[in-house]
Amino acid sequence: MKRFIIVCVMFFAWIQSVQAGGFQIGEMATRSTGMGSAFTAVSDDASAAWHNPAGAAFTTGSQIMVGGDLIIVPPVKYSSNAATKGVGGAPITATAKSKSKSILVPHGYYTFMDEGSSLGASISINAPFGLETEWPLATPFKTKNTFSRIQMLMINPSVIFKVNDHFSVAAGVDYAYLNNVDLNSSLQDVNGNGDGWGGNASIMYKTDAFSMGVTYRSSVKVNINGTARAKSTLASPFGATTSGANTSVTLPDQVNVGLAFKPNDAWLLSFDIDWTNWKKFDAININFTSAAYRASVSALQGAVGATVTGATNIPENWKATTAFRAGAEWAFAPNMRTRFGYVFDPTPINDANFSPAIPGNDRHIFSVGYSYDLSDQTSLDLAYAYVYFKNRHQTASPATPLGAPDTVKNGTYKAQVHIIAASLSYKL
């Protein structure tokens, strides 16, 4: 098992993401991406292993899907506004751009349901959470954030039980491995990794023309251990002082409810409501094992007017969110289908605790997709999604008690993302 996990981690080692709904990536399979990922009540291909394993109960034999998303991230554009102020309340005028990214996020799914049997199984390997944001040192908020990253791998095996011709259930475990977790600023670099376990359960009710699905995933607490390095003084290089460091990140629990309807043989319509309990992401509290390091961090914090703690304690206080998804699939030829989708995904990030590490803007996603059957067993799926982020005009970042304000984070943030997806599916 350990060797298998190492191989998977190597395969997923370059996984990153951008500022999505929090740091969640909803586009986890090509066909579903073309339908706005409104797939909880569809789940009739191998990606059911992720979206709703209970849906695989209404398939027969083995299904395999491999593919990935190429996420093209133009620079996030930042400009100061009237609320951007430095130490002592002095106004700041600045503009900046984050580093552009081109990121590959692979996925792999497998389902098995023996004909005539009520038992089946599935496994998904993907990366539904991730983050990478990199800002230049010239930004006003450089002492708060310069580089943030979460790379991850999730493995989800499930057992499926078909109760009758219309109803099925499934349950499984979620293993999450967070690799290369970074939280860097101009004062210190922190890097670590860790893993954790959770669980999931799902149901599906299906008739010829209508289906309903529900999927629940528990939260996963990941304890992260790593290293930190800081400057001895503001003018010294990094690495002058080092320490062990530890923290934890809790991936939120989720409930996905979906409805799907086939008005005729050519059309499939689907709708999802996704609730994500981002309240679990309430703070990042990093503990340093070295007393000398804690003293060094205190000195650096005092030098920039921050609250002196000798630790890194970042309140997040995110709120739970509800995303809305809609999709359609049109079989316009015996071996070809096209798809359309729309998503509204609100940000969980409140105004007071906003951070440039995750420029949390409400997002709208518009997607299209195409499928071609290469044979009776093999299909090629393609999709494109445009992610429009509503401009965030941040003005509520407060001053800290010692007068070194978080108001340096105030400003206007503009972003957009392009997603190109492809996958190959095979039915045994």
pLDDT of 5 > 50? The answer is: no
Q: 87-91, 161-165, 352-356, 394-398: which range is least confident on average?
A: 87-91
Residues 415/394, Cβ–Cβ less than 8 Å: no
Residues 25/37, Cβ–Cβ less than 8 Å: no
More confident residue, 222 or 303: 222
Most confident of 76-90, 155-169, 309-323: 155-169
> In which residue are the tokens 């800290």 written?
400
Give dist(CA 84, CA 77) in Å, integer.
15
Give dist(CA 55, CA 165) in Å, integer.
12
Q: Pull the structure tokens for residue 360.
A: 């949390």
Q: Pull the structure tokens for residue 196.
A: 């954790």
Q: Pull the structure tokens for residue 269.
A: 């319509």
Is 2 strand, coil or helix? helix
Question: Could you tell me which residues are beta bridge partners of residue 273?
Answer: 257, 324
Residues 139/96, Cβ–Cβ less than 8 Å: yes
Q: How confident is the model at residue 290 (pLDDT cuts 50, 70, 90)?
A: confident
pLDDT of 9 > 60? The answer is: no
Instruction: Report CA-CA distances (Å) from 101 to 40, 135, 185, 419.
Output: 30, 12, 19, 12
- CA 329 to chain centroid: 25
Q: What is the largest CA-CA distance in the chain?
A: 74
- Domains in the chain (CATH in brackets) are 2-427 (2.40.160.60)
Q: How confident is the model at residue 269 (pLDDT cuts 50, 70, 90)?
A: very high
pLDDT of 178 > 80? The answer is: yes
Is 61 strand, coil or helix? strand
Q: 26-35, 86-95, 112-121: which range is least confident on average?
A: 86-95
Give percent helix, percent strand, percent coil of the chain, each to the nearest 5.
Answer: 10, 55, 35
Mean pLDDT for the chain overall: 88
Q: What is the dihedral of CA 228, 298, 360, 50, to 10 degrees?
A: 30
The conformation of residue 118, written as its DSSP 8-state character, comes to S
What's the pTM? 0.90
CA-based torsion, 186, 191, 197, 203: positive or negative: positive
| pLDDT tens string 21-39 | 568 888 999 999 999 999 9
Instruction: Report CA-CA distances (Å) from 417 to 17, 165, 367, 390.
Output: 10, 42, 12, 12
More confident residue, 132 or 198: 198
Q: 74-88, 102-116, 213-227, 234-248: which range is least confident on average?
A: 234-248
pLDDT of 412 > 80? The answer is: yes
